[in-house]
Structure 1
């Protein structure tokens, strides 16, 4: 596996996720947010319309976009949501506990989703996994092809080297528990993690560090 690196203002990177789904990754905005376009023989999905709607439009290249999924409510992940939804007619999806905040901040209507829900993508669907801690309504999206590794789009809940930022010891404990139970306990070491910022990693590269993360408290 490569780390699927993209540079700010650099060219998008397109990779095959297996199972008939392709992912195009692009860095957006001043905080180097990752935006992901998933395409295949079926509905396309954009994950995190973070910023720079004109760059998102370039990546879309005129294709239909039925869905924009927001991984969580923080502003650096939603700044272009209204423009992209307005330009494409896409339906917005987000974690139900973050829905009200995202609707207020973007002026859009969102469909709340949570653990066990699915969102159509290409020839199949993305599984929604609720991960509480970074925000109350953060979600991870799982693509699990019949062959090859699973792919997780984790927003700011899981990165190379640790879980996302939290603002209290209780939130950290909840986040690490959810990541441990709902991600590490469920998926194999070859599973690829596509975070909300920066490079990708695998669960195998991170698994041995879980006790260290818990001990350090971040």
Structure 2
């Protein structure tokens, strides 16, 4: 079946099957958060992005194979409500942006800086530190050697614009980071956000100037 990335709380997961990586997307409540399970096809090792909520649903998706790692994209509470239970059940190592780690109540085993590589089996994800939505938000870039890049943006980029910021300086910082570290990728790049539907950089790139003009 063709992957759409359209998931709803209580509904089934959607699976994006790449040559080296399987990406399973599921939505959990109560804030319609997306969680992503990445599975290396060569080794079957798994990594979870954002143990947002509903531990039972996430553990059911993870299955008996467990996970090696959990990456929390940023410190906002709706992105780590199930982290303690998932870690307790799986023994997974925890990763988060260095500047956000203190804001996450579950200890971060590996603080992440810009350019750091996080591995799931034989697959490499490169962290991009984006300041603005929170001080330590990270996006994860999978540069698929068989196709286009895939980016897990947390709450830094959605269909229709960047994530929420509270000060003009934060907005400018987030936009500068996105332009320097994300929009340098090709139009075909697939974007997996922390809430809602997926998008591509090609769909969003024409609107950068209007985002800058409106200031959010």
Query: Could you state the TM-score of these two structures normalised by the residue count of structure 1?
Result: 0.95
Structure 2 distance, partners of 1:172, 1:94, is: 21
Q: Is residue 2:189 matched to residue 1:191?
A: yes
Match of 1:115 in 2: 114
Tell me which of 46, 67, 83 is aligned to 1:81.
83
Structure 1 distance, partners of 2:3, 2:92, is: 31
* Aligned 1:1-218 pairs, distance under 5 A: 3-18=4-19, 20-40=20-40, 41-42=42-43, 43-102=45-104, 105-106=105-106, 108-185=107-184, 187-218=185-216
**For the structure 1 residues 17 and 131, does the alpha-carbon distance in structure 2 shift closer, same or farther, using more than 3 Å as the test?**
farther
Root-mean-square deviation (CA), in Å?
Answer: 1.2
For residue 61 of structure 2, give the secondary structure of its aligned residue in structure 1. Answer: helix
Structure 1 runs (4+) deviating above 4 angstroms are none
> 8 Å contact 2:124–2:142 — kept in the other structure?
yes
> 8 Å contact 1:21–1:123 — kept in the other structure?
no
For residue 184 of structure 1, give the secondary structure of its aligned residue in structure 2. Answer: coil
Residues 81-105 of structure 1 show CA distances to partners (whole Å, capped at 9, x for unaligned) of 1110110000000000001111xx2
Task: Extract unaligned runs of 5+ from structure 1.
Answer: none
Query: Could you state the TM-score of these two structures normalised by the residue count of structure 2?
Result: 0.95
Shift in Å at residue 3 of structure 1? Answer: 4.0
**For the structure 1 residues 2 and 13, does the alpha-carbon distance in structure 2 shift closer, same or farther, using more than 3 Å as the test?**
closer
Q: How many residues align?
A: 213
> 8 Å contact 2:26–2:35 — kept in the other structure?
yes
> 8 Å contact 2:3–2:16 — kept in the other structure?
no
**For the structure 1 residues 147 and 64, does the alpha-carbon distance in structure 2 shift closer, same or farther, using more than 3 Å as the test?**
same
